[in-house]
């Protein structure tokens, strides 16, 4: 069997991270098995669907590193790949079900349907359809109405039996008899409904596996019935766990950004977001947390999904992003910072060597590109950041001696920046001439030259700070 999987977004908004996760799992399974990954656009909601959303969703998928083998812009043997262009196909299959006695024309008005619903509520029973048009004795009347030009919905005749789904994650799921009543396949407007389109397309496009969110499990009973009515075997179903926030509620905007576009705008790396989404409900066989999609293809299978809801943790995502960011070379980081740091920022006036040294020093401390900005500002700041520890160091007599020594040393320099060799020379000279060593020397030097009581190696940090700023810092210490 050739594996054929699909991702079927609705172009009514931006690509949700839950949808992106589903797309990633389908993509990986197709690649891992040598199968095909199909993009199918479910745009039958004509009022809300927009082509701009479709194009943006495709752009976001490709940004994440996900490409497809067949889709709206990659015609294959099973198109068209937009449901809005397949209406005649759905109508033909619905009419075939009517001819087999498995569906029927329904002329009930909205008022009649609402009255049925109210009666069911009063009688404390499910609001199932109980109209007359199901009965074969009204077949002839239905034909007359159609001939007269009246509009009718096509409604599925639900079999009175239970159904069983052997799901790849949920295991054996039993749907008891009478869970649903007769449901609409084609509306009286001629538009098909989701469950019918989905099944017809999966059958005609020869989809072998359906990997989707657990929230679609509620659609599965109706879809199993339609597969059976069409004389087709259902694909293997894999319903992956829901995404929830730390409060264990369904993921929403209050838990953070929910669209891929927003993560792009917040400068997350695509490989990091894809990596993190994979971890939400699936685990690496070697229990790795950091990987690329390419690294996953050889080990990805459907047996490592968890039934438990996946908690979406923004802090974990940032950590994953930081891990991927640190995998970039200093040259790659510098290239990225050209667009991530505002054009007017003084960073852009520095030499390439300075920028490379800056990335080398600070990349271990940033998780997003924007995190570099406070570090850059610290290089320009002459403020003495008072703290209990810093005040203690300032109270040492040796610190006052170091400050006077540094004032003299800085006054003689003509360069714009010191070098690591100059900093080493200061250390050696202070030790020799002032007799200061150990903690008093290193902490005194740090406080005088940086204005803080902790930080990176001075031989790496100070060559990134202009001598003018160093002078300003030291001058504040008496």
| CB-CB contact of 68 with 37 (8 Å) | yes
74, 151, 161, 253: which one is catalytic? 253
Give CA–CA dist 448/426, Å, rounded.
12
Phi, psi for 290 (deg, rounded to 5): -115, 125
Distance between CA atoms of 361 and 374, rounded to whole angstroms?
13
- Cα–Cα distance measured from residue 220 to residue 223, given in angstroms and rounded to the nearest whole number: 5
Is residue 327 among the annotated active site residues?
A: no
Give 166's strand partners: 172
Q: Mind telling me the catalytic residues?
A: 253
């Amino acid at each position: 069997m050739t594996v054929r999987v699909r991702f079927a977004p609705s172009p009514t908004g931006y690509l949700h991270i839950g949808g992106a996760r589903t797309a990633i799992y389908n993509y990986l399974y197709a690649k891992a098995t040598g199968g095909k990954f199909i993009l199918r656009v479910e745009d039958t909601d004509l009022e809300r669907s927009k082509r701009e959303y479709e194009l943006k969703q495709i752009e976001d998928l490709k940004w994440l590193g996900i490409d497809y083998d067949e889709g709206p812009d990659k015609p294959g043997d099973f198109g068209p790949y937009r449901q809005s262009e397949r209406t005649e196909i759905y109508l033909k299959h619905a009419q075939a079900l009517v001819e087999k006695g498995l569906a029927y024309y329904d002329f009930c008005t909205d008022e009649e349907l609402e009255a049925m619903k109210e009666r069911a509520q009063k009688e404390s029973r499910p609001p199932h359809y109980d109209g007359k048009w199901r009965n074969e004795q009204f077949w002839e009347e239905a034909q007359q109405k159609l001939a007269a030009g009246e509009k009718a919905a096509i409604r599925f005749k639900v079999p009175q039996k239970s159904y069983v789904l052997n799901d790849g994650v949920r295991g054996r799921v039993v749907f008891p008899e009478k869970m649903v009543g007769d449901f609409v396949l084609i509306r009286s407007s001629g538009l098909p409904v989701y469950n019918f389109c989905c099944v017809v397309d999966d059958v005609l496009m020869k989809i072998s596996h359906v990997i989707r969110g657990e929230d679609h499990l509620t659609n599965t009973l109706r879809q199993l019935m339609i597969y059976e009515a069409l004389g087709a075997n259902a694909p293997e179903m894999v319903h992956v766990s829901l995404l929830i926030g730390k409060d264990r509620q369904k993921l929403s905007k209050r838990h953070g950004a929910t669209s891929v576009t927003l993560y792009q705008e917040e400068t997350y790396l695509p490989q990091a977001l894809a990596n993190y989404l994979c971890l939400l409900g699936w685990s690496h066989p070697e229990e790795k947390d950091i990987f690329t999609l390419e690294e996953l293809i050889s080990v990805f299978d459907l047996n490592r999904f968890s039934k438990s809801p996946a908690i979406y943790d923004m802090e974990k995502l940032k950590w994953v992003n930081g891990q991927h960011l640190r995998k970039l070379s200093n040259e790659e980081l510098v290239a990225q910072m050209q667009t991530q740091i505002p054009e007017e920022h003084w960073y852009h006036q520095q030499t390439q060597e300075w920028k490379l040294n800056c990335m080398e020093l600070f990349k271990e401390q940033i998780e997003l590109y924007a995190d570099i900005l406070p570090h850059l500002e610290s290089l320009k700041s002459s403020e003495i950041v008072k703290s209990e520890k810093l005040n203690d160091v300032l109270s040492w007599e040796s610190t006052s001696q170091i400050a006077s020594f540094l004032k003299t040393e800085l006054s003689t320099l003509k360069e714009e920046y010191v070098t690591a060799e100059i900093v080493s020379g200061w250390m050696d000279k202070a030790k020799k001439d002032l007799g200061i060593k150990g903690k008093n020397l290193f902490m005194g030097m740090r406080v005088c030259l940086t204005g803080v009581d902790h930080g990176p190696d001075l031989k790496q940090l100070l060559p990134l700070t202009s001598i003018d700023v160093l002078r300003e810092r030291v001058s504040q210490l008496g």
